[in-house]
Amino acid sequence: MTDFTEHRYAVIMAGGAGTRLWPMSRKSTPKQLIPFIERDEQAKSLLQLAVERATRVVPIERVFICTGQAYIDQIATSLPQVPRENLLGEPEGRDTTSAVGFAAAVLEKHDPDAVFCILTADHIIEPVDVFAARMAVGFSLVEAEPSRLVTFSIQPTYPATGFGYVQRAHALADPGATYNGNPIAFSVERFVEKPNEVTAKQYLVSGDFGWNSGMFVWRASTIMQRLHKHMPAIYNTLRAIQQQWGTSAQQETLCELYPTLEKKSIDYAVMEPASRESPSAVCTVLMDLSWLDVGSWPSYAETLVADSNNNRASGVQVVSENSSGNLVAGQAGHTVAMLGCSDLIVITTPNATLIMPRDRAEDLKKIHAKLPDDLK
């Protein structure tokens, strides 16, 4: 019997600018590389945590990271355990279809039987053992039926309007598709992008919807086939890159062709048309765990322990009087004094400081757009 686990890989998507985490997140050091998550009495980056999670699923030599070429050296230094040849550098960001296809093309050439999971680098997911167990279910579903496309949905805890949703259809009968007698693997009815609050509340009450996690499992060859069918121009360009991968022309070909790829989300390019065509080909594994998208300062605050006045601090020393509900973060050795302040976000760096009301956090992009280039 074939040992399928020999063909399992993990690809961590580590792109994204993280403008809502300015001024710590910059072009030179995007959010996934900032060591600002406190774990085990250490400050770790989101990418470091993602790699630790990935190694609960596959061995480190089969962990790949897809990121911008400009960050390859930084990642190689901060994560020396990941083989440098496993760092896939995009010449420029071209959305998730190109990134997923790039990884699929490289892995298919390396191992024609490769099955890989797509993991994110901007979330805190706990407990990790539940995450690993659900990933194993996803791999098993694809190994049992190679044409399957598996996505992972998170059990909603509130009516979020900033996430996409996956509606579950019927439960799958595959071995391992239940946990404690309850189904955890389902065919997909449909994908819904960022509903309004009324609709999100209806989804929460129905119990049939999960947050779209942006994590997947599929065969590399299946993704290439799907791209050939739904996005032929992207497919042809990736095939040309694949042909030169591992040769002396690898980098020249990548830099020449990759920027020409159309920008499109993998959900729109592959998952939605595949689900309409053949509902049985697209399925979802429900993850009942804590899933925190660290994409803004209020969400980052949730990673910190609050004091008796609901103030949260990281790095800096805070002295406060009659102040509550604030987030203060910065570098060690800096003191922030707060008097009569409530519900503020204060972020300090050596050359920029952010001060804003907590409820204006989503507007930070407006300020970011006005900054000089050397501060972005």
Print the SS3 string covering the chain: CCCHHHHEEEEEECCCCCHHHCCCCCCCCCHHHCCCEEECCEEECHHHHHHHHHCCCCCHHHEEEEEEHHHHHHHHHHCCCCCHHHEEEECCCCHHHHHHHHHHHHHHHHCCCCEEEEEECCEEEECHHHHHHHHHHHHHHHHHCCCCEEEEEECCCCCCCCCCEEEEEEECCCCCCEECCEECEEEEEEEECCCCHHHHHHHHHHCCEEEEEEEEEEEHHHHHHHHHHHCHHHHHHHHHHHHHCCCCCHHHHHHHHHHHCCCCCHHHHHHHHHHHHCHHHEEEEEECCEEEECCCHHHHHCCCCCCCCCCEEECCEEEEECCECCEEECCCCCEEEEECCECEEEEECCCCEEEEEHHHHHHHHHHHHHCCHHHC
Mean pLDDT, consecutive 10-residue stretches, the chain (376 aa), reads 76 88 93 90 92 97 96 95 97 96 98 97 94 96 96 93 92 91 93 92 94 96 97 98 97 97 94 85 94 93 94 94 96 93 96 95 92 92
pLDDT tens digits for 133-179? Answer: 999 999 999 999 999 999 999 999 999 998 999 999 999 999 889 99
What pLDDT shows up at residue 3? 53
CA distance 227 to 266: 10
The pLDDT tens digits for 177-190 are: 999 899 999 999 99
**pLDDT value at residue 2:** 46
What are the pLDDT digits (tens) for 311-346?
999 999 999 999 999 999 998 889 999 999 999 999
Return the closest-CA partner of residue 222 out of 133, 63, 324, 114. 114
Q: Supply the pLDDT for residue 22.
A: 96
Can you give the pLDDT at residue 137?
96
Angle between helices 95-110 and 220-230 (to 10 degrees): 130
**CA 210 to the chain's CA centroid:** 16
Task: Specify the pLDDT at position 52.
Answer: 96
The confidence score (pLDDT) of residue 1 equals 37
Share above pLDDT 70 across residues of the chain, in percent, rounded to a whole number: 99
pLDDT number for residue 237:
98
Which residues partner with 183 through β-bridges?
178
Mean pLDDT across the chain, nearest whole number?
A: 94
Residue 18: the pLDDT is 81
**What was the pLDDT predicted at 16?**
75
The pLDDT score that the predictor gives to residue 4 is 60
The pLDDT value given to residue 270: 94
| Cα(102)–Cα(376) distance, integer angstroms | 28
Q: Which residue has the tokens 């020999």?
A: 6
Q: Can you tell me the distance from the alpha carbon of 162 to that of 193, in angstroms, rounded to the nearest whole number?
A: 9
CA distance 269 to 271: 7
